Chains A and B, each alone.
Chain A
Amino acid sequence: MSAVADTHAQDHHHGPAKGISRWLLTTNHKDIGSMYLIFSFAMFLLGGSMAMVIRAELFQPGLQIVEPEFFNQMTTMHGLIMVFGAVMPAFVGLANWMLPLMVGAPDMALPRMNNWSFWLLPCAFLILVSTLFMQGGAPNFGWTFYAPLSTTYGPPSTTFFIFAVHIMGVSSIMGAINVIATILNMRAPGMTLMKMPLFVWTWLITAFLLIAVMPVLAGVVTMMLMDIHFGTSFFDAAGGGDPVLFQHVFWFFGHPEVYIMILPAFGAISHIVAAFSRKPLFGYASMVYAVGAIAVLSFVVWAHHMFTVGMPLAGQLFFMYATLLIAVPTGVKVFNWVTTMFRGSLSFEAPMLFAVAFIILFTIGGFSGLMLAIAPADFQYHDTYFVVAHFHYVLVPGAIFGIFASAYFWLPKWTGHMYDETLAKTHFWLSFIGMNLAFFPMHFLGLAGMPRRIPDYALQFTDFNMISSIGAFMFGATQLLFLFIVVKCARGGEKAPAKPWDGAEGLEWTVPSPAPYHTFSTPPEVK
């Protein structure tokens, strides 16, 4: 593969611009990808520090550190920042870096829009975070911002929150358009759809989900805006409105959103498990169909978040059956990963450790999801810590471990250096233990009857809350180690070969490490 050598044949070969303008004005997918990743990690630390406040308050019964009012702001901002600031931008960052390298394209299809969609994000989050300093405080109605708590009873800063969500939505939609345009138009000759790497497939489907549901989110916050400032009554019962309508619209966005946060991780994990098993991925085609099925089903299950609102029986049954159905394609994916490992030649470098933990812990999150899908039982689980445990099991070892696995897997490609394997393993084990310690006891708390989003709790919940807080502090502190590992790797270390993992497959390993500023100016041939 001579992709890089060819770039020198171009008459206007140039490297990055100097100084701040390189970052402000760049249209280079690698620079933009790096910025997305750095931004998302900064948000991860910020959202994480809010989680630390929450866990510190919940360490013991009674109010010690914060007032309930501020506690609610913390839970709200933690959720919003983690979902929209940490997980989603991290995946967009990975997409920016890897999609062109994986499909053999020189850059994303719409590079200027790419720049714009990134730079909108810091603006959106500046607005969102600034609400903490406004009179009346930040949004305090939970990341699900149910009306009328968020409309009639919301703090004055709600309007800024709405504006921030609009901007994030614009950014996400532009990012998604860019991904679709790149994948559909810029694949190397010979790369048919069914030859695309799975990360490309999962991102293609994710991008369609984004385009479908981000406008719905924008719609629901716009309705809120109208209710607050323009005298409408979409969600105000006193004006003939319907508070439950809010939940239907929100979760029509919200459920596909959870798949937006996990599907790209499915793709990356598929590469990593195959690479470190030194064996081709089992059931490539069924993986693709499974992701497609999950995406389609994700549009018809939203009301399983609302089993207690008093839907008609037929509605309950429909949403219960549809939700149970999602377990089938998800199961197929897990079985495929396990079978890929079966009779492989396994080694456990950091990406593989994270990937294996992903499979195990995500599956546990899937199991509790299955339990939550049983509508009658959900009457007991709903809005308790069991739900908190469930979605943290799918998001932390799911989305976040997926991101860590991807980061370690591709760091040599990005920086040209090997990361410190010992430190990375330490990072993994501390994260793994901390995360389980933090979130597993939440299952017990929920089953024993502790509601979520409360700043203080009855005495029988004390012990598990304490363990959970210790685990959370451990997990939180460990992430600083990740920062150190990445900085160390970027600054130097053992030189990485073009293909540092002997079992890895794909076009990204055909270019040198670090990947040159411009790659695949001449498209490679895929057989």
Chain B
Amino acid sequence: MCVGSQSWLFISFGFKEIFSLLLICVYTRQRRIHKQTFTLSFIRCCERRAFVQRDDAKSDKNNTLWRHSMRVHAKRAVALAAGLLLPVTVMADWTMNMSPGVTSTSNQIFTLHMTILWICVAIGVVVFGVMFWSIFAHRKSRGAKPANFHENTLVEVLWTIVPLAILVAMAIPATTTLVEMYDTTESDVDIKITGYQWRWQYEYIDDDFSFFSNMSTPRDQILNRQAKGEHYLLEVDNPVVIPVGKKVRFLLTANDVIHSWWVPEFGVKKDAIPGFINETWTRVDEPGTYRGQCTELCGKDHGFMPVVVKAVPEEEYNAWVAEQREAAETERQLTEKDWTLDELMERGERAYATACASCHQADGSGMPPAFPALKGSPMALEDMAGHIEIVVNGSSGTAMQAFGNQLSEVDLAAVITYERNAWGNNTGEMVTPKEIFDYKNQQ
């Protein structure tokens, strides 16, 4: 049982192992490379594209979310976080630390984060220093004789009071930052964000238009049938656009379950909760595209509802708003148009793919029991009234949402028509946008 020297060997073995592993990693990433192979001898399988690229020409020099800004800080953090006395020379492209971000909030958070990290490191160095000193110097195998002390009031009082003082010192800047983060007054633009399973809706309250933002990464990339793109899982069809230099207030709620809207570069994360409206705000000074994700488990596609924000100069923002308002008007007029079955089918296929396919599947086979099949279902073949009812109003107590406010009349009509005629459902029946409009107004 006397194995002192043996365990010392084990210690050195362990550390060497960790060091060498870390160093290999570091070395392979030291050069910025676009195609790279991870060369740890036991993981050769992974060849991928380097994903860390500029978002677009505009934001070339800006900090964007997934990039590796503030390398100096990253280097420091490595040394710290590793908690080991790593040679602090490298770590180029391994993002290990929080991004300082592009807003005053995110910068303040970053400062708090680094401060508390350094405090922890300092405490750790002292405590573990004493411990390792004991481990090395006071070993039985080296003939150490145990002392017999087991109390010292002064020391015990000190190590209660000193940490308390450190915590108070830490709490003061944290409080200041928090107070600022909670000040949502005097905003220039208000955007209401609603979480749905599994997409975001952005509503420009003052400008009377809204749209949905769906992940645009193709399914084939997720299923590894196609090379993954630069912004794999972090790209959407309709990004939310905000003007730079303006205080933008976000009003968050959810339609079904709890979601959480996060853009790390802004230092903004807030839960979107059904029945509640949460507020948060940001002011972005650097134009660019910023990416984030839903951060509250919200069901099967929780990992597939990214947030993409485009911050643009004010003139560009105003032009975009005007364009959106016009498009919204055009969409309203489309309801009046006379639609043919083929037109509805074509539009329906697209609307189905974004709104319905994640649950009921592209081929209408569903995922029973939670998500029933539509192909060959009595609802889609016979009960037309029931079909409209469930799509518009949802089915309470189940995962079937009310799409009445999510889709336009045209899209609702198109989707229902599509479901009644696709995958061999061939009923030949169609619903027009006007009928949907009337149905909704009767209620």
Considering the complex, give the chain A residue whose CB is closest to the CB of B296: A383
User: Which residues of chain A from 426 to 457 have any CB-CB distance to chain B below 8 Å in the complex?
Assistant: 428-429, 432-433, 436-437, 440, 443-444, 447-449, 451-457
Q: Which residue of A lies closest to B367 (CB)?
A: A69
| B-binding segment of A27-35, A58-66, A84-92, A193-201 | A58-66
Q: Are A383 and B260 in contact (CB under 8 A)?
A: yes
Query: A72 to B297, Cβ gap below 8 A?
Result: yes
**B156 adjacent to A286 (CB under 8 Å):** yes
* Docked pose: A174 CA to B246 CA in angstroms: 59
Q: Assuming the A-B contacts A283-B156, A377-B112, are A243 and B138 also in contact, with contact meaning beta carbons closer than 8 angstroms in the complex?
A: no
Q: Is there a chain B Cβ closer than 8 Å to A17's Cβ?
A: no
CA of A72 to CA of B49, assembled, Å: 28
A23 located at the interface, meaning its Cβ lies under 8 Å from any Cβ of chain B in the complex: no
CB contacts (< 8 Å) of A349 on chain B: these are 1, 3
Contact B268 A347 (CB under 8 A): no
> Would you call the interface of chain B mostly helix, strand, loop, or mixed?
mixed
* Residues of the B chain whose Cβ atoms lie less than 8 Å from the Cβ of A470: 42-43
Q: Are B3 and A338 in contact (CB under 8 A)?
A: no
A376 near B224: Cβ-Cβ < 8 Å = no
Q: Are A64 and B148 in contact (CB under 8 A)?
A: no
| A185 CB-CB contact with B under 8 Å | no
A232 within 8 A of B: no
Binds A, one of B236-244, B300-308, B328-336, B424-432: B300-308
A335 within 8 A of partner (CB): yes
Report B130 CB to chain A, min CB distance, Å: 5
Chain A residues in 8 Å Cβ range of B174: 320, 374-377
Whether A344 pairs with B138 at a CB distance below 8 angstroms is yes
Q: Are A456 and B298 in contact (CB under 8 A)?
A: no
Contact between A313 and B182, CB atoms less than 8 A apart: yes
A61, A332, A374 pick with most chain B CB within 10 angstroms? A374
| Interface set, chain B 113-160, CB cutoff 8 A to A | 113, 116-117, 120, 123-124, 127-128, 130-131, 133-135, 138-141, 144-151, 155-156, 159-160
**CA of A169 to CA of B46, assembled, Å:** 45
Residue A141, interface by CB 8 Å: yes
For B97, the closest partner residue in chain A by CB is: A447
Query: Is A382 among interface residues, defined by CB-CB distance under 8 A?
Result: yes
Question: What chain B residues lie within 8 Å of A242 (beta carbons)?
Answer: 275
* CB contact under 8 A between A155 and B94, given known A433-B14, A458-B66: no
CB contact under 8 A between A328 and B163, given known A321-B171, A421-B3: yes
Q: Residue of A at shortest CB range from B167?
A: A324
A332 to B159, CA, bound (A): 7
- Evaluate contact between A153 and B264: CB separation under 8 angstroms: no
Contact with A along B331-369 (1 / 0, CB 8 A): 000000000000000000000000000000000000111
Quick one: given A279-B147, A343-B138, are A458 and B131 in contact (CB under 8 Å)? no
CB <8 Å contact, A429 and B222:
no
Q: How far is the CA of A451 from the CA of B233 in the complex (A)?
A: 12
Measured CA separation A492–B151 after assembly (Å): 41
Whether B27 is near chain A, meaning CB under 8 Å from some CB there, is no
Residues of B within 8 A of A359 (CB): 131
Q: Answer yes or no: A356 CB below 8 A from chain B CBs.
A: yes
Given the complex of chains A and B, what is the CA–CA distance between A308 and B407 in angstroms?
29
Expressed in whole angstroms, the minimum distance between the Cβ of B57 and any Cβ of chain A is 21
Pick from B2, B6, B163: contact of A331, CB under 8 Å: B163
A334 part of interface (Cβ distance < 8 Å): yes
Cβ–Cβ contact B120 & A135, under 8 A: no
- Chain B, Cβ-Cβ closest to A240: B275
Contact between B7 and A425, CB atoms less than 8 A apart: yes
Interface secondary structure of A, over-half rule: helix
- Residues from chain A with a CB closer than 8 A to the CB of B151 are 282-283, 285
Q: Given A282-B151, A308-B269, verify A432-B222 contact (CB < 8 Å).
A: no
The reply to whether B303 and A459 contact each other, CB–CB distance below 8 Å, is no
Q: Are B131 and A310 in contact (CB under 8 A)?
A: no
* Chain B neighbourhood of A136, CB < 8 A: 369-370
In the bound complex, residues from chain A placing their C-beta under 8 Å from that of B112 are 374, 376-377
Verify if B293 is at the interface (C-beta below 8 Å from A). Answer: yes
Q: A140-B300, A243-B273, A374-B174 are in contact. Are A343 and B369 (CB under 8 A)?
A: no
Contacts of A447 on B, CB cut-off 8 Å? 77, 95-98
Question: Residue among A146, A313, A432, A463 with the most chain B CB within 10 A?
Answer: A463
**A237 pairs with B276, CB closer than 8 A:** yes
Residue positions of B touching A, CB distance < 8 A: 1-4, 6-8, 10, 13-14, 17-18, 21, 25, 29, 38, 42-43, 46, 48-49, 51-52, 65-66, 77, 81-83, 94-99, 105-106, 108-109, 112-113, 116-117, 120, 123-124, 127-128, 130-131, 133-135, 138-141, 144-151, 155-156, 159-160, 163-164, 167, 170-171, 174-175, 177-179, 181-182, 197, 221-224, 228, 230-234, 256-258, 260, 262, 264, 267-271, 273-276, 278-279, 292-304, 367-370, 396-399
The 4 closest A-B pairs by CB, nearest first: A237-B275, A454-B303, A459-B51, A348-B7
**10 sample A-B contacts, Cβ–Cβ < 8 Å, listed by A number:** A149-B298, A283-B150, A316-B182, A328-B164, A338-B134, A341-B138, A347-B140, A353-B7, A374-B113, A448-B99
Excluding A146-B257, A347-B1, A463-B29, 16 further A-B contacts by CB distance (< 8 Å) are A62-B221, A135-B369, A152-B257, A155-B370, A237-B275, A283-B156, A342-B130, A343-B144, A343-B147, A360-B128, A363-B124, A421-B1, A449-B264, A449-B293, A451-B303, A467-B21
| Residues of chain A whose beta carbon lies under 8 Å from any beta carbon of chain B | 60-64, 67-69, 72, 135-136, 140-142, 146, 148-149, 152-153, 155-156, 237-238, 241-244, 277-286, 308-310, 313, 316-317, 320-321, 324-325, 327-328, 331-332, 334-335, 338-349, 353, 356, 359-360, 363-364, 367, 370-371, 374-377, 379-380, 382-384, 418, 421, 425, 428-429, 432-433, 436-437, 440, 443-444, 447-449, 451-460, 462-464, 466-467, 470, 500, 503
